[in-house]
Structure 1
Amino acid sequence: MKQSVTVSKTADLKVSSALKILVSRLNIKAPKFNPNTIFKKVVVPILSILLFIGLWHVGARSLYNIEADFKIEKALADQGQAAADSMAACIASGDISCQPNTLPSPAQVWDSFNTLIADHQVISADKLAFKDKTAALNEKRIAEGKDPITYTGRPSFVDQIFTSLKTVFAGFLLAFMIAVPIGIVIGLSQTLRNSFNWLIQVFKPVSPVVWLLLVFMIVKTMTKDSNQDSAFIISFISVGLCAMWATLVNTAMGVSSVDKDYINVAKVLKLKPLQKVFKVILPSSLPLIFTGLRITLSVAWMVLIAIELLAQSPGLGSFVWEEFQNGANDSNSKIIVAMFVIGIIGFLLDRIMLTIQNMVSFNKNAAT
Structure 2
Amino acid sequence: MATVYADAQPTDEPAVEAASGSVAGKVAAPPAETESAKKEAKPAFFAGQGAKLMKGLLAPMMGILIFLGLWAVLAPQVDTSLGALPGPVEVAGQGVALYEEWGAANEVESQFYADQDARNAAYIEAGTPGRVTDFAYNGPPTFVDQIITSLQTVALGFILATLVAVPIGLVCGLSPVVNAAINPLVQIMKPVSPLAWLPIVTMVISAVVSSADPLLPKAFIISALVVMLCSLWPTLINTAVGTSSIDKDLLNVGRVLKLGWFAKLTKLVLPASLPYIFTGMRLSLGVGWMVLIAAEMLAQNPGLGKFVWDEFQNGSSQSLARIMFAVVVIGFIGFGLDRIMMALQSLASKNRTV
**Structure 1 pair 213/138, CA: closer, same or farther in 2 (3 Å)?**
farther
Q: Is 1:195 aligned to residue 181 of structure 2?
A: yes
Q: Residue type matched to 1:134 in 2?
A: Q
**Deviation of the 1:211 alpha carbon:** 1.3
Question: 2-side partners of 1:312 and 1:148: how far apart?
Answer: 29
* Per-residue deviation, residues 213-264 of structure 1 (Å, max 9, x unmatched): 1111110001123322100011111111110011011111111111101100
Q: Mapping of 1:1-368 within 5 angstroms? A: 33=46, 34-64=49-79, 101-135=83-117, 148-228=134-214, 229-361=217-349
Say whether the 8 Å CA contact 1:250–1:292 is kept in structure 2: yes
- 2:317 alignment partner, SS class: coil
**Structure 1 pair 36/280, CA: closer, same or farther in 2 (3 Å)?**
closer
Gaps of 5+ in 2: 1-44, 124-128
- 1:244 alignment partner, SS class: helix
Question: 2-side partners of 1:205 and 1:360: how far apart?
Answer: 30
**Deviation of the 1:363 alpha carbon:** 7.4
Normalised by the length of structure 1, the TM-score is 0.76
Question: 2-side partners of 1:137 and 1:179: how far apart?
Answer: 52
Say whether the 8 Å CA contact 1:283–1:362 is kept in structure 2: no
**Deviation of the 1:36 alpha carbon:** 3.4
**Structure 1 pair 147/261, CA: closer, same or farther in 2 (3 Å)?**
farther
Q: Residue type matched to 2:190 in 1?
A: K
- 1:361 alignment partner, SS class: helix
Aligned residue pair count: 299
**Deviation of the 1:42 alpha carbon:** 2.8
- 1:104 alignment partner, SS class: coil
**Structure 1 pair 40/190, CA: closer, same or farther in 2 (3 Å)?**
closer
Q: Residue type matched to 1:185 in 2?
A: V
**Deviation of the 1:209 alpha carbon:** 1.1
**Deviation of the 1:212 alpha carbon:** 1.3
Question: 1-side partners of 2:185 and 2:113: how far apart?
Answer: 50
**Structure 1 pair 148/194, CA: closer, same or farther in 2 (3 Å)?**
farther
Question: 1-side partners of 2:221 and 2:279: how far apart?
Answer: 27
Q: Relative to total residues, which structure has the larger helix share, 1 or 2? A: 1
Stretch of structure 1 that moved more, 308-317 or 283-292: 308-317
Paired position in structure 2 for 1:84: none
**Deviation of the 1:148 alpha carbon:** 4.2
**Structure 1 pair 231/137, CA: closer, same or farther in 2 (3 Å)?**
farther
- 2:297 alignment partner, SS class: helix
Q: Residue type matched to 1:126 in 2?
A: V
* Per-residue deviation, residues 347-366 of structure 1 (Å, max 9, x unmatched): 010011011001112579x9
Q: Residue type matched to 1:106 in 2?
A: P
Question: 2-side partners of 1:224 and 1:157: how far apart?
Answer: 30
Say whether the 8 Å CA contact 1:204–1:242 is kept in structure 2: yes
**Structure 1 pair 101/242, CA: closer, same or farther in 2 (3 Å)?**
same
Say whether the 8 Å CA contact 2:82–2:315 is kept in structure 1: no
Gaps of 5+ in 1: 1-31, 68-98
**Structure 1 pair 174/137, CA: closer, same or farther in 2 (3 Å)?**
farther
Q: Residue type matched to 2:349 in 1?
A: S
**Deviation of the 1:137 alpha carbon:** 7.2
Question: 1-side partners of 2:177 and 2:251: how far apart?
Answer: 18
Q: Residue type matched to 1:186 in 2?
A: C
Say whether the 8 Å CA contact 2:238–2:277 is kept in structure 1: yes
Say whether the 8 Å CA contact 2:201–2:226 is kept in structure 1: yes
